[in-house]
Amino acid sequence: MFRIADRDFQSRLLIGTGKYSSANVMQESLAASGSELVTLALKRVQLDRPGDDIVTPIQNLGLQLLPNTSGAKTAQEAIFAARLAREALGTHWLKLEIHPDPNYLLPDPIETLNAAEALVKEGFTVLPYCGADPVLCKRLQDVGCAAVMPLGAPIGSNQGLLTRDFLRIIIEQASVPVIVDAGIGAPSHAVEAMEMGADAVLVNTAIATANDPVAMSQAFRNAVIAGRMAYEAGLSQNASLKATASSPLTDFLESL
């Protein structure tokens, strides 16, 4: 179990709802993942083509909503998006994301910090998507963010934990939960993050675009559990190029 702000969660797997082939597959995947915290985005309504209601099925599963501010390029836009999200979904929980760069979708640290500070003052529970910068994560924590969400690799790139050395420092220093977000492309990546001591991971593309998203959800669920168990068990520090026998090798042969 772990806690973000005033809420306890059994599952350490957060799921994004983007890129699924259908609403049904998304729903089944969410259920299979065991996740309790699910991200959503906001979009302008197209009057001639209104979208389906995505919220009710998620709420029917009993999951908590975590709207994001995707699309915001500045702190000002993100703050406006956050207020709209609170109004639309009736939650003050927010995944703050500000990424002005369309190629790599890397988060703008200065705008993110400014927006985070303002939104915390407005009563939001802010979970910022950010670079794997230990100094920035400390600053985000200091302005009152409920967690930090450093990236493993660019969004949707499935490259795994390219930032692993910095994630280690962030985990070592943080006093709020560290949720590794973005870049996790396989259950093995999730295991690595959890073994390192991350409190949780957020996965979207790797599940939604798998051949069988429902089965992949279960794979991630198990991976996160295994990684956390390993972290709590304490990994053996015995790593070297030289072999060390785990069975007695010679005694009984000598007696022959």
Partner 1 sequence: MRIKINDQGLELTEQSSLAELLSAQNIDTTAIAVALNGKIMHRGHWQQTKLNDGDTITLVQAVAGG
**Nearest CB to partner 1, comparing residues 49 and 242:** 49
Name the catalytic one among 95, 121, 138, 242. Answer: 95
Q: Which is nearer to partner 1, 69 or 114 (CB)?
A: 69
Q: Which is nearer to partner 1, 80 or 173 (CB)?
A: 80
Annotation says 95 is catalytic: yes
Cα dist. 1→62, 216, 226 in Å?
A: 17, 22, 14
What character string, x for contact with partner 1 (CB under 8 A) and - otherwise, covers 2-21?
Answer: --------------xxxxx-
Q: Is 70 in the site for partner 1 (CB under 8 A)?
A: yes
Amino acid at 135: V
Nearer to partner 1, 134 or 151 (CB): 151
Please say whether the beta carbons of 210 and 216 come within 8 A: yes
Burial (Cβ within 10 Å: 0-12, 13-18, ≥19) of residue 224: buried
Q: Least distance from C-beta 67 to partner 1, angstroms?
A: 7
Distance CA 161, CA 203 (A): 13
What is the SS3 string spanning 187-219? HHHHHHHHHHCCCEEEECHHHHCCCCHHHHHHH
CB proximity list for 198: less than 8 A, separation 6 or greater = 167, 171, 178, 179, 180
Binding mask 149-188 for partner 1 (x = CB under 8 A): ------xx--------------------------------
Q: Does 205 bind partner 1 (CB under 8 A)?
A: yes
Positions marked catalytic: 95
Q: Which residues bind partner 1 (CB under 8 A)?
A: 16-20, 26, 39-47, 50-51, 53-56, 65, 67-68, 70, 80, 83-85, 87-89, 155-156, 202, 204-205
